[in-house]
Structure formats: C-alpha cells, structure tokens
Amino acid sequence: MLPRFLVPALAPADRVVALPADESRHLARARRLRPGDAVRVFDGRGLEYLARVEGIGRSSVTVTLIEPVAPAAESPTRITVAQALLSGDKIDGIVRDLTMLGIAAFHPIVSARSPIALAAVRRSRRIERWRRIAAASAKQCGRAVVPEIRDPLGLQDWLNADTSGIRLHLVEPAGDAPSGTGGIPDASRDRQKTSVALLVGPEGGWTAEEATMAAAAGFVPWTLGSRTLRADAAPLVAVSIIQFLWGDLG
C-alpha cells in the first residue's frame, strides 16, 4: 500500500495541494519520501486521490493530484459507540481499534463511576489526542473516512441527544442482567434502521439509576454472554458481533 496522508482541506479542483504541517513532517522526516514518489491523500470524509510528491520545503510539502481512487467501502450500518471513560490510557486503544473496525462516531461519556469528571475531560487535551489517534488509525487501515470523535457529555445529556435507529446498552452478564435482556434486533426486520448506538460502561459498571435512565431512553439491554469482559475489550467484541449479524463482514 502506498503511504497515505490526511489532507482535510483536499480540493479536487486544485491540481497541487499542500499537506498540513504534521503530515508534511511525517512525509519528509519519518517516511523520508522524495519529489516524484507516489502517495495517496484523503480528506477523512471519503475522498481519496493518487498523488505525486511535488515539492518538499522546510515546513511544508506539496503534492500533485493524479487521479481519484475508489476508497475502501464503508460499513452500511452507521455505528456510534458511546463509551464511559476508563482509567489510564485505555480509551486510546479503543479509539484506534474501533476506527479499524469501521465505526462512524465515538462519543466519550462521563458516568457515575468514571475516573474523571466531565469538566476535567473538557479542560484536558484528551479529545484532541483521540482525534489524532483516529486519523492515524484510518491512515493505517486504508479507510478514507475518519470517524467523528465527539466532545464528551454526561450520560443523560447523551441519551437525550441520540437519534439512532437501534439503541443497545451493554450490561453485566448473568445474574446482574436486568429482566428482558436479549440479543441484538434482527437486521432482517430492521433493515431500514441503518444506525446503531452502542452504550458501553466503565470498569465498575453502570449504577442502577443509569440502567434505568438508559431503559427510559429506549435502549435495549444486551449482554455478551456469561463471561465478564474487560471494559476496553467489550466495545470491540460488541461492534464485531453487530457487523457480523448485519452482514458487514461477509
């Protein structure tokens, strides 16, 4: 695969385009490319071009657009993962891997048992870092679309704002699962519902009040079997199952 570079302001009408500063440094210093080398550039929204390195300056790189490239197919099911914040840097790996799996959006949620308060998340640079991680992961896995990394919200605010066609709420397995817990809705009966919201909790799980809030918002409680998975593994397994059941991995 040719080296790929993200150019959010990519304009096909411009024959020669400039790479952003960070992508210019990566091309020149990390990849050590030279004028004349072939690359691919994409805008993170589905547009991708075969290009040729035109010029390398001290702080900028220009490339010449050669021809459009058919991007990798995106999932027909728009999956948004709302993940309660976890300890340490676990969200970094979740964002990286969910990008590779093909989600459309990632929304960090502050729950009752999250290790950091909402105000502290907003003051930090975590959102910017997760957006960089998503962009890097899209470059690596061949996606021409970078999933949207949204600003953090409290649980109730997010529940009020979500408009997905199908809403799933991951809950603890076995005895901790509420009555009525079932599997994901059958895609054959819900083909018109092409958007799925997946709500995933923190290490300590959801409180009873939060589970009630999710149910009141129309979220279907769903378990991943009798085993208890790590909080940073659960969203990856759940998204893979959704994609398999909806025919996205065939």
SS3 content of the chain, % helix, strand, coil (to 5): 30, 25, 45
Show Cβ contacts of residue 167 under 8 Å, excluding neighbours closer than 6 positions.
196, 197, 199, 217, 218, 219, 220
CA dist 13 and 3 (Å) reads: 22
Residue 249's closest CA among 79, 134, 131?
79
Query: Is the pLDDT assigned to residue 86 strictly greater than 50?
Result: yes
pLDDT score, position 76: 86
Residue 74's closest CA among 104, 98, 52?
104
Residue 193's pLDDT band, with cuts at 50, 70 and 90, is low
Residue 33's pLDDT band, with cuts at 50, 70 and 90, is very high
Q: 3.40.50.300, 2.40.240.20, 1.25.40.10, 2.60.40.10: which CATH number matches 4-68?
A: 2.40.240.20
- The percentage of the chain sitting over the pLDDT mark of 90, rounded to a whole number, equals 74
| Residue 55: strand pairing partners | 62
Average pLDDT of the segment spanning 83-89: 95
Residue 179's pLDDT band, with cuts at 50, 70 and 90, is very low
- The percentage of the chain sitting over the pLDDT mark of 70, rounded to a whole number, equals 91
pLDDT score, position 191: 52
Answer yes or no: are the C-beta atoms of 79 and 103 closer than 8 Å: yes
Residue 183's pLDDT band, with cuts at 50, 70 and 90, is low
Average pLDDT of the segment spanning 94-113: 97
Q: pLDDT of 114-128, one tens digit each? A: 998 888 888 899 999
pLDDT score, position 176: 47
pTM above 0.85, yes or no: yes
Answer yes or no: are the C-beta atoms of 102 and 143 closer than 8 Å: yes
CA dist 218 and 215 (Å) reads: 5
Average pLDDT of the segment spanning 33-40: 98
Answer yes or no: are the C-beta atoms of 33 and 41 closer than 8 Å: no
Residue 185's pLDDT band, with cuts at 50, 70 and 90, is low
pLDDT score, position 59: 85
Indicate the domain borders of the chain. 4-68, 78-245
Average pLDDT of the segment spanning 49-70: 95
Q: pLDDT of 222-240, one tens digit each? A: 988 888 899 999 999 999 9
Q: 3.40.50.10490, 3.40.1280.10, 3.10.20.30, 3.40.50.460: which CATH number matches 78-245?
A: 3.40.1280.10
Residue 52's closest CA among 7, 17, 102, 96?
17
